[in-house]
Structure 1
Amino acid sequence: MQFYTYDYIVQRSQFNDIALYVLSFLALIALLFATFKYFRNRLVTRYRDLIVIFVLAVAFLGGTQWNSFNQTKADSEQTSRMAGFLHTLGEEMQTPPEEIHTNSTHLKQGMLVEVQGKYYEILFNSDFTSFKYEETHLMTRDVKVVDKDS
């Protein structure tokens, strides 16, 4: 079973899709080059065909980036909610959030947290604005803590 640290959860919100940006940039440069060549010599139809191919490539990569952007936005929102929860739980248990480990990277019913060697099950209300916790015991002690450096 994996438990995540506060630092790992906060670090997850960082955005790193550099390869997709590089591909999009190269496809856009190729599109501009083919368009320039086509307008210089309109009788050569291969440039027109290249323009169609590059327009489709740019549209595909743009759609992929839009999807990635939306996913990153949702992950960032979940991370923000989880960080807020860990701060609140830390205040409640008089423990810094950095010393709390959780088995989920986003808020969910029945998630487990480890605080000072004790495990607690967290139960939320229907809109995740309040919670209660009670001590629980794990069937197995095979716990791996995932930190931001892992």
Structure 2
Amino acid sequence: MTFYSYRYLTHQNSNHYLFQLAVISIIILIIAFISWRWYRHRTDLKYRELFIIMILLLLLLTGIQFNEWQTLKSSFSQKSQVTQIMQRVAQEKGVKRSQVWSNTSTVSSGMLIKVNDHIYNVTVNTDGNSYTLTKATPISSTIKYVKEAD
């Protein structure tokens, strides 16, 4: 069973997002260079073909980036809801947020919250505006803690 810290859920970064933006920027520079070469050598068709290939590659990567952005936005929203529940539980139990752990990064009924040595089952209302905590006993005694984003 794996539990994630509050800090892990709030500070998880996405370096692949920045990498994809860097690749798109490089392709835009390549397109600019190839279009300049095509303009200078209009009779040489290889620059036109390279230009078309690079434009298609740019469109493909832009589409992938847009899809990643939508997924990241949804994931951030889910993590935000989990961290809000963790904040409320920490406030109710009178502990620091660093002592509250969650077994998932998405809000759902059946998620577990660990506060110090106690584990609670979270039941979320159907409209998502309220939750109920009940004590839970884990079957597996081995618990893995993830404190920081890797």
Superposition TM-score, scaled by structure 1 size: 0.93
Identity of aligned residues (%): 22
Deviation at 1:108, TM superposition (A): 1.0
CA displacement 1:100-128 (0-9 Å, x = unmatched): 11100121110111112011101010121
What is the CA–CA distance in structure 2 between the aligned matches of 1:48 and 1:42, rounded to whole Å?
8
What is the CA–CA distance in structure 2 between the aligned matches of 1:75 and 1:142, rounded to whole Å?
27
Superposition TM-score, scaled by structure 2 size: 0.93
Report what 1:72 is aligned to: 72
1:7 paired to 2:19: no
Report what 1:60 is aligned to: 60
Structure 1 segment 1-150 matched on structure 2, within 5 A:
1-12=1-12, 14-16=13-15, 17-148=17-148
Question: For 1:42, what is the secondary structure of its paired residue?
Answer: coil
**How many aligned positions are there?**
149
| Structure 2, unaligned runs of 5 or more | none
What is the CA–CA distance in structure 2 between the aligned matches of 1:147 and 1:93, rounded to whole Å?
20
What is the CA–CA distance in structure 2 between the aligned matches of 1:65 and 1:2, rounded to whole Å?
30
Deviation at 1:149, TM superposition (A): 5.5
Are 2:11 and 2:149, in contact at CA under 8 Å, matched by a contact in 1?
A: no
Question: For 2:134, what is the secondary structure of its paired residue?
Answer: strand
RMSD of equivalent CA atoms: 1.3
CA displacement 1:88-110 (0-9 Å, x = unmatched): 11112122222111100121110
What is the CA–CA distance in structure 2 between the aligned matches of 1:6 and 1:123, rounded to whole Å?
19
| Structure 1, unaligned runs of 5 or more | none
CA displacement 1:111-147 (0-9 Å, x = unmatched): 1111120111010101211010111111111100111
Question: For 1:87, what is the secondary structure of its paired residue?
Answer: helix
